[in-house]
Structure 1
Amino acid sequence: MATALNEELVRNITTNVTVPLVFRQFVSNWSISQWNVEKWSTVFGDREIPFRCMRKDFISDEPCWERKCKVKKLTFKNFINNLAASKEWMYFDYKYLHQWFDADSELCKELSWKQFGYDKGAADTTLWMGSEGSHTPAHQDTYGYNIIAQVHGKKRWILFPPETGGLKPTRVPYEESSVYSELNFFCPHSLDVFNGLTGGRMVELSAGDALVVPRGWWHYVQNIDPVNITLNMWLPHEKDPSAHVSEALIKIFIAQMCKDLPLETAKMLVNPNEDDIVDTPLAVLFLQLETVANTYMDKKRRVRRVKRQKTRDDDSPLPDLEEFDLKGLVGNPGNNMEIAPSITSADLMNVLKDNLSKYANTERALDDDELDGATSSLCLTKAVIDAFSQNDVIDLVKHNLLARLS
């Protein structure tokens, strides 16, 4: 008998699935998924929204880093009215709802993740709103796993497994919550670096669709329709305590480098949301490291105690394994689920060529501000940071640190 979805099962799936999973039209019952542009204009009202912007025809082998984007403040209505004439893509992204809307606003009151099995609402939700071509550089999230609800327009996701080679991970620009790829999936100057890049998956989400991105999966995300609105929430993963220690170590290293460099150079090393790293006393950063290291070690001690107790008490019942038949669930048409489809290297190249054909202008000379600020100009500094931040290096440092603190 085919298994039907319910809140408990969906929560189990989202917690444990190891491949990107699409729930087609799963949130189409949300009233938010039915809102048109006029309704969203009413919801946003006359508040000015800071959009990060960049010319659509910008070609570079580096991603369109946030530091290189301009910021324009527009009302939602002006954002809509400027779409047709604008030569830029515009993105109001990574914004927590509770920082922009009152708890009693219609949007916040309507939002609930209960059908995913989580008692979460607006306070746990992030908003992403952008025009055609707006995108997030390819990256992997440092912590947790991600549930996405597409509520307006179409959005393309290109994803790769955590262990994928060839993506050129970098910590410059530094952001605690993200490890970026050096590859530009929007309009790259050269396609050579994408040759042989395997293991990719690609999916387009329409309004009403939901997506689960498991821990560590790389993703490049681009808005396809003229207006795109997405909501998401990150949920903690059992490996987060270990990742917190790694990130605290990397943050101390990068902070120390930033403090000893000219301010303009230091700013190029970090994303704008990490600008305060220069002014944060090292004593504070070491206190943060101590806190997360103690949390991690306490967790390890608790796990060892539980294992010892189970060894002593052979009659103690083992917890039920949270298992589910993913193949069977996906195979049941009534569930309207799919694993994000695989794409070949050739498929990926065609997507990139389509972007270049649609947006790129090879005849246009780049402006000075487009030429300035490239992280590649940091050369040795960037190479040192990336060398110290490699997983095998930071894991060894973390192992030695915890051994000395135990």
Structure 2
Amino acid sequence: MKLRKTFVSISHNIRNKEQICLIIYLPVLVMAQTSLNSETEALTLRKLILNARKPFVLRNFKMNWKYFEQSLEEWCLNYDKATNSLTEFEVMPCNEGNQSPHWERNRKSKRMTLSQFLEKQKLATADKCWIGLNYQRLNNLPAALNEGIDFSRLGFSEVTDECNYWLCSKQTNTPCHYDTYGCNIVVQVFGRKSWLLFPPKTPLTCTRIPYEESSIYCEENFFAPNIEEVQQLSKFHSSAYRCILNAKDVLIVPKHWWHYVEAMDVSLSINYWIPLENDREEQLQECIVKILIERFVKSSNREERNYILNPNQEDEIKDDSEIFEILKYLHENSKDSGPKVKARRLNVSSCPYQYLDELECENLIKDLPEGMVEYLAPMAKGDYEALLNKNAQRFKLIRTNSELHQLNDIKNSLINSVCAPTVIEQIKKEFFKRYQS
């Protein structure tokens, strides 16, 4: 699951205002020992990524990451040698208790080495559960393994904390959601992953339970849909985009696109969320959601609290003085609130987004090698329905539902109604009308 720690970093900035500065990215790519053609190509790709209206793939694209020129087995062995300790993986049964999406609250944990993880995938029982090392910060890798991993080949030489790696077994999946912040670059290093994507306005059933800052989930279970879900989801056939991401492929996911991701093999991928200028308004809206969610949580018992909050949010509850100071800070730095003082801007390098029209983007593609950029197209209706029906076969194998609903229906409905994206948007607009900082 994606946890961006935005409120933690903002709160730190507020407490250290004298240290806040804006990191300005100069659109000049400095690449040692590269040709002008490579620099121009990287800058062109940067523009295409920042102006993407729909997902696209760069097939067999060389990122020039030397530590991934070895095999996955060698990489895992080197990881084990460098850490000299067991690593905590998430474990999820695939044939029981899965009548809802594979929410993080239902997963167990198991400690093992990465080499032991690979060995488990060779066993006949491997399909009974999936094992994943999900959403791990790249800068937490041993130094010997993350040196030289950057996105300069795509025009992003800036270094941020938004790079992550994902090592997982077949069937490991991320419940369908969209990210409120940033544009996503995904590099498939080893193995394959299936990406099912939908445009931002697709009417999937939004939910803020489980609550995770910057992730808006949907209630539909794409891993193992029941009959009713298959019938409902089949209506979106004209909006469904699918990409099988192979090793060395790069996928660009534009802002707010829904996506359900499932590993087809043992898989290792690395992603980077590009901070965008218009993320600031999203941060303010997420701050409003956080305030509302915390009001519900504070009046809830432990079982309800564990049901409402994603596990990675349990330690992120803030007191009133801090969370309202963050809201004030975001208001002062939003583009709707007038001129900004440089010293109060967020301490990030944010990029302009969708500043070129589609015709200009088409002209940019002409400057790149033929076939480099592959825009995804909607799935054929038959292919989409076949995928849904194939996944629905898993539902028939589910023996029990191990998750007890810890929240009564009226409270569940009220939380999702109050925190619905359209409602939060209206609250933000009303807040701007009423509050002048």
| Structure 2: stretches of 5+ with no match in the other structure | 1-36, 342-354
State the Cα deviation string for residues 187-222 of structure 1 (Å, max 9, x = none).
122222212113110001111110111110000011
Match of 2:303 among 264, 289, 297: 264
Is the Cα–Cα contact under 8 Å of residues 160 and 219 in structure 1 kept in the other structure?
yes
Residue 68 (structure 1) aligns with: 106
Cα distance in 2 for partners of 1:364, 1:136 equals: 19
Cα distance in 1 for partners of 2:395, 2:421 equals: 38
Letter in 2 for 1:66: E
Is the Cα–Cα contact under 8 Å of residues 59 and 187 in structure 1 kept in the other structure?
no
How many residues are treated as equivalent by the alignment? Answer: 375
Match of 2:120 among 79, 82, 89: 82
Is the Cα–Cα contact under 8 Å of residues 329 and 335 in structure 1 kept in the other structure?
no
Cα distance in 2 for partners of 1:91, 1:216 equals: 25
Which structure ranks higher in relative contact order (CA pairs < 8 Å, sequence separation ≥ 6)? 2
Matched, 1:239 2:239: no
State the Cα deviation string for residues 205-252 of structure 1 (Å, max 9, x = none).
111110111110000011001x10000110112221111111111100
Q: Secondary structure at the match of 1:195?
A: helix
Deviation, structure 1 residue 93: 0.8
Is the Cα–Cα contact under 8 Å of residues 174 and 271 in structure 1 kept in the other structure?
yes
Matched, 1:402 2:436: no
Deviation, structure 1 residue 282: 2.1
TM-score (norm 2): 0.80
Relative to 1, partners in 2 of residues 1:133 and 1:330: Cα closer, same or farther, differing over 3 Å?
Answer: farther
Deviation, structure 1 residue 293: 1.3
Relative to 1, partners in 2 of residues 1:374 and 1:150: Cα closer, same or farther, differing over 3 Å?
Answer: farther
TM-score (norm 1): 0.85
Residue 178 (structure 2) aligns with: 140
Match of 2:211 among 167, 174, 183: 174
Counterparts of 1:281-296 in structure 2 under 5 Å? 281-296=319-334
Residue 189 (structure 2) aligns with: 151
Deviation, structure 1 residue 270: 1.2
Is the Cα–Cα contact under 8 Å of residues 200 and 343 in structure 1 kept in the other structure?
yes
Deviation, structure 1 residue 95: 1.0
Cα distance in 1 for partners of 2:52, 2:133 equals: 29
Letter in 2 for 1:362: K
Cα distance in 2 for partners of 1:59, 1:349 equals: 24
Counterparts of 1:32-43 in structure 2 under 5 Å? 32-43=67-78
Counterparts of 1:157-168 in structure 2 under 5 Å? 157-165=195-203, 167-168=204-205
Deviation, structure 1 residue 156: 0.8
Cα distance in 2 for partners of 1:88, 1:171 equals: 26
Is the Cα–Cα contact under 8 Å of residues 215 and 237 in structure 1 kept in the other structure?
no
| Structure 1: stretches of 5+ with no match in the other structure | 304-320
Relative to 1, partners in 2 of residues 1:298 and 1:193: Cα closer, same or farther, differing over 3 Å?
Answer: closer
Residue 310 (structure 1) aligns with: none
Letter in 1 for 2:297: C
Residue 309 (structure 1) aligns with: none
Cα distance in 1 for partners of 2:162, 2:290 equals: 25
Give RMSD over aligned pairs.
Answer: 2.5
% of aligned pairs identical? 28
Relative to 1, partners in 2 of residues 1:250 and 1:365: Cα closer, same or farther, differing over 3 Å?
Answer: same
Matched, 1:354 2:390: yes
Relative to 1, partners in 2 of residues 1:394 and 1:363: Cα closer, same or farther, differing over 3 Å?
Answer: closer
Deviation, structure 1 residue 361: 6.8
Cα distance in 1 for partners of 2:157, 2:146 equals: 14
Letter in 1 for 2:257: W
Cα distance in 2 for partners of 1:388, 1:327 equals: 44
- Which stretch has the larger CA shift, 294-303 or 24-33? 294-303
Cα distance in 2 for partners of 1:35, 1:284 equals: 47
Cα distance in 1 for partners of 2:197, 2:248 equals: 20
Matched, 1:393 2:423: yes
Match of 2:248 among 208, 212, 215: 208
Deviation, structure 1 residue 275: 0.7
Relative to 1, partners in 2 of residues 1:34 and 1:57: Cα closer, same or farther, differing over 3 Å?
Answer: farther
Is the Cα–Cα contact under 8 Å of residues 206 and 217 in structure 2 kept in the other structure?
yes
Letter in 2 for 1:178: S
Matched, 1:248 2:248: no
Letter in 2 for 1:199: S
